[in-house]
Structure 1
Amino acid sequence: MRRKGKLTLAVAVALAAIGVAVPAVGEPAAAPATQCKNVEVPVKVGTQSGAISGTLCVPDGATTVQLLVPGYTYDRTYWQMPYKPDTYSYVRAANKAGYATLAIDPMGSGASIKPVSVFSTFQASVKTVHKVVRALRSGQLGHKFSKVVGVGHSLGSLTISSAAGQFKDIDALVTTGFTHTIEVAGGPIKVIGRNYSAIFDPKFAGSGLDPLYVTSIPGSRKNFYNAANVDPEIIALDEKHKTTKTLVDLVTGA
């Protein structure tokens, strides 16, 4: 779950993946004007109805959208950290390149639906992402996109790639913090060891979440960074904006 360090490289990879020309280094290009709004896609998980929430940013003339899915206990803020956006915002970099972006709060995190944890499985999360893809293609969110690029981080990479494989409606993928070989025995245990039940965390006290909703142990997120070159403000913001996810989602995805 390392913070992004080379945003322009990732955007260039995504552009190349769908056959869009990438300007040469040093070639001047005017950034298109971009409009952003919060959106919701209705979903049903188990017996509960709710929505997947996100922020849709559309530069003038954009026909391709990047669907941004963050990792475990992260929400849309991962892609648009509210600090020095020209340095730390993937959304800003993608929009400047002419891409529309939809950064979402995955099921169980942020402002999105938080179903009873027994229903909050990895497959349920994959299906909610598919609902979002359909909304982007159909114009349900106010813009109809001809191409959808899935961009993921960590568990978000696993989720978006699974959605692409199952439903065949994502044109290209950019996966980060992700490996083709999963350490089934030790991987989930290492992740679980950095988290605890959200009901014990001051940020989520009184939230009504069941005990299988977890968040990161206070102070542990700094371990994702290289202390020699990280801006301390980023670590503080990462801790401030942490969110929740269920153990069920993690274990059923591994």
Structure 2
Amino acid sequence: MTATTLVATATAAPAAPSTAAETRPTCVAHTLPVRLADPGPATQTLWGELCYPRNARPTTVQFLVHGGYSNHAYWDFPVGNGYYSYVRAATAAGYATFNVDLIGAGHSSHPLSSQVTSDAGAVALHDAITALRQGTLDGHSFGKVIWVGHGTGSYYARTEIPRYGDVDALIQTSALHGFNAEHVVSGQANVYPAVNDPKFANSGYDAGYITTKPGTRASMFLYPATTVPAVAAADEALKDVQPTAAITPPAVPHQIRVPVLVVGGAEDWLGCQGVTVYDCHDPASVLAYESNFYLPEAQLEVALIPQTGHLVALATTAPLTNSIMLNWAAGVAAPQ
């Protein structure tokens, strides 16, 4: 397979229905001891929720890793009766999912922010993948693992997968290599130490944990035409923190030797709007640029979702995004 584009054909976003068609999965939360260094002691804890389709135990699991200033709720959003839940969509398609909180977010441990580097986070996530493959969580081992990352969760994959080679495929969302420099400056102005925020004022986090300032998320992360007000309000309420040390750009091309799908919102404020190195309304131009960052073995494919911002899972176009991701996944690691 050569590098190709997957064309998202929708020209208008569907309205969000009041109910979801997906069957609710069976889910259990787990807390794993993990390391921040390899070799090193397992001094931290990583939280995740393992979900199965009802009455099924597939041997392929999708490993869901959220983005910055967020947590596991991104992949299983509590608005819309499952409409915005990738967990529901993936389990309905026959996959198991393990939806984690990154170290430094959600229910996982929060060490000193300076300790949560790209390498440290990659080690912790590798320990979680090892647990999935060995059946440590509930006695059921997985033969195949698909990493599904959003933003920061995609960036961690670029460190972890070349180092450990422990997954069978990679889906990256909202992690293009181009950016709007002016929006980068604006985005930096829209974050501050989490302890300055009313939500995290009593958290005890050190100043290296940052979060988005109140009222700034929607303009950065959501596209108005495909955003339901209740989703924007919930995203603001559910926001989380990010350690400033978390992401160091890895060397390129990324030494990833498994199939890779890159998915983006065509109106992503940072990665598409005003970006000059490609045109997100022309997937072929995005593919041509992104191909510079991957080995031929990645068999890179790219899909751009019309009228969609950075948070692709929270747009009314989410069913289109889910369909593209799951159809691609079935072609590289079917839910067996």
TM-score by length of 1: 0.81
**CA drift at 1:87:** 1.5
Which one has a larger percent helix, Structure 1 or Structure 2? 1
Select 1:140's aligned residue among 121, 136, 139: 136
CA contact 1:161–1:173 (8 Å) conserved in 2: no
Between structure 1 and structure 2, the one with the greater Rg is: 2
Question: How many angstroms apart in 1 are the aligned matches of 2:129 and 2:182?
Answer: 32
Select 2:66's aligned residue among 64, 70, 90: 70
CA contact 2:114–2:244 (8 Å) conserved in 1: no
Question: Which residue identity is paired with 2:200?
Answer: F
Select 1:131's aligned residue among 110, 127, 133: 127
Question: How many angstroms apart in 2 are the aligned matches of 1:199 and 1:65?
Answer: 36
Select 1:229's aligned residue among 226, 229, 243: 226
CA contact 2:24–2:88 (8 Å) conserved in 1: no
Match of 1:87 in 2: 83
Question: How many angstroms apart in 2 are the aligned matches of 1:189 and 1:248?
Answer: 18
| Structure 1 segments unaligned to the other structure (5+ residues) | 1-8, 10-29
Give the direction of change, closer, same or farther, for the CA distance of 1:253–1:145 in structure 2 (3 Å limit): same
Match of 1:157 in 2: 154
Give the direction of change, closer, same or farther, for the CA distance of 1:94–1:85 in structure 2 (3 Å limit): farther
Q: Does 1:241 find its partner at 2:238? A: yes
C-alpha offsets along residues 33-88 of structure 1, whole Å, 9 cap, x if unaligned?
73201111211337882211011101213110000011111100000001124321
Select 1:114's aligned residue among 88, 110, 114: 110
Question: How many angstroms apart in 1 are the aligned matches of 2:163 and 2:197?
Answer: 36
Match of 2:212 in 1: 216
Question: Which residue identity is paired with 1:127?
Answer: V
CA contact 1:68–1:151 (8 Å) conserved in 2: yes
CA contact 1:215–1:243 (8 Å) conserved in 2: yes
CA RMSD of aligned residues (A): 2.4
Question: Which residue identity is paired with 1:112?
Answer: S
Question: How many angstroms apart in 1 are the aligned matches of 2:143 and 2:134?
Answer: 9
**CA drift at 1:190:** 5.0
**CA drift at 1:253:** 4.1
| Structure 2 segments unaligned to the other structure (5+ residues) | 1-7, 9-20, 251-336
Count the aligned residue pairs: 224
% identical aligned pairs: 37
